[in-house]
Amino acid sequence: MKNATPRQIATISALIISGVILLILLVVKLLLPDYVNWIIVIAAPLVTFISGSLVFYYFMENFIYRKIKLIYKTIYDTKIPDGDKPSKPKIKNDIIDYAESEVIEWKKSKTKELKKRKKHEQFRKEFLGNVFHELKTPIFNIQGYLETLIDGGFKDENINFKFLNKANKNVNRMAEIVDDLQMISNLEDGSFALSMNKFDITKLVAEIIDQNDIRASKKNISLEIKEGCEKSFIVFADREMIQQVLNNLVTNSMKYGKDGGRTQVGIYDMNKNVLVEVTDNGIGIDTKHLPRIFERFYRVDKDRSRELGGSGLGLSIVKHIIEAHGQAVNVRSAPKVGSTFGFTLTKTK
């Protein structure tokens, strides 16, 4: 009966009823032989069977199956977004089976969707919490400096300029965070169009090294292109964006590098791509943090990062930019040994 069609169900139901009638008539015939004749004993169940199966079939088809078909169609039509809709399965008589499996599948997809929404909601809450937290500190600092100045501090030559300077630094930090968030959001929603061009990546690396020279020497860090990696490679990418990627990685290598350490940038031929790697021998990162290191606001040591002026957005920007180029970033690191951050770019001639 599991895969029975409406016709089969109607036939079996009519057969059962006519069987019962036949049995009753046979018993009556046996007990009161003159009361009913054989024609009735045979004809009554036969008529019941024919009319019963027709009535049952009509009832099932018109009332039950049509309603199920309607429910099935409603589920089918609301379940899948228009673009992904495969051709609708033919609704034959095994509609109950179809409806059952569709309802089970529908329930599964709803549960999955619900889980996804909960995760998304959690992610959104965490993100907003992080934004508030990051902006709260500079806002409170600015408030403090300004209140002190208003309360008479502006007349005190020992602090007036110093406090104004500090307030200004905090404003700059807020502006930086907002700029970084804006960039991530633009890269995420695809509203950011890359300006793709051909350029020499080795030359760009040399420029970045030049720009960071003073910062490196302040920390006694030797900053250089890795030996044997001086060859020119032309890549097809957004130069300005890649400049930002290299800047973020080189800055990090020094921020988290040790005094007297070294940062090396390697450029390698990978057939269709070029691999760029920024390696330092600094504090390194424990393996357990590596899967989350590219997330927005994720920091291994929050206090240390803040102290160094970090907002935890640099690596997230790196990942977004490289992925917008259809390429990949990776990291290898060991605590107290150092880190290597690498990314690929499309090689061209």
Report how far residue 175's alpha carbon sits from residue 234's, in angstroms, rounded to the nearest whole number.
34
Write down the least CB distance from residue 326 to ligand ADP, Å: 22
Report how far residue 305's alpha carbon sits from residue 311's, in angstroms, rounded to the nearest whole number.
7
Report how far residue 261's alpha carbon sits from residue 252's, in angstroms, rounded to the nearest whole number.
13
Write down the least CB distance from residue 155 to ligand ADP, Å: 37
313 near ligand ADP, judged by CB under 6 A = yes
314 near ligand ADP, judged by CB under 6 A = yes
Nearer to ligand ADP, 6 or 342 (CB): 342
Q: Give, as one character, the DSSP assignment of residue 154.
A: G
- Look at the block and give the residue holding tokens 């007349």: 155
Write down the least CB distance from residue 76 to ligand ADP, Å: 45
Residue nearest to ligand ADP (CB): 310
| Residues of this chain, 244-303, that bind ligand ADP according to CB under 6 A | 248, 252-253, 256, 280, 282-285, 293, 298-301
Helix then strand count (H, E) for the chain reads 10, 7
Write down the least CB distance from residue 105 to ligand ADP, Å: 41
Taking CB under 6 A as the criterion, the residue among 45, 52, 261, 310 binding ligand ADP is 310
Nearer to ligand ADP, 14 or 278 (CB): 278
Q: Any residues with CB less than 8 A from the CB of 229 and at least 6 apart, and which?
A: 202, 265, 266, 267, 268
Number of other CB atoms surrounding residue 161 within 10 Å: 11
Nearer to ligand ADP, 53 or 253 (CB): 253
Taking CB under 6 A as the criterion, the residue among 262, 305, 322, 325 binding ligand ADP is 305
| Identity at 192, one-letter amino acid code | F
| Residues of this chain, 327-346, that bind ligand ADP according to CB under 6 A | 339
Write down the least CB distance from residue 327 to ligand ADP, Å: 18
The footprint of ligand ADP on this chain (CB under 6 A) covers a number of residues equal to: 23
**Could you tell me the two tokens for 155?**
């007349």
Q: Which stretch binds ligand ADP (CB under 6 A): 22-30, 213-221, 312-320, 322-330?
A: 312-320
Write down the least CB distance from residue 291 to ligand ADP, Å: 12
184 near ligand ADP, judged by CB under 6 A = no
311 near ligand ADP, judged by CB under 6 A = yes
Nearer to ligand ADP, 45 or 257 (CB): 257
Q: Any residues with CB less than 8 A from the CB of 60 and at least 6 apart, and which?
A: 6, 9, 10
276 vs 137, 211, 214, 262, 271, CA distance in Å?
36, 18, 23, 17, 13
Q: Any residues with CB less than 8 A from the CB of 241 and at least 6 apart, and which?
A: 194, 321, 324, 325
CA angle 267, 273, 275 (to 5 degrees): 30
Distance from the first to the final alpha carbon of the chain: 70
Binding site for ligand ADP (CB under 6 A): 248, 252-253, 256, 280, 282-285, 293, 298-301, 305, 310-316, 339
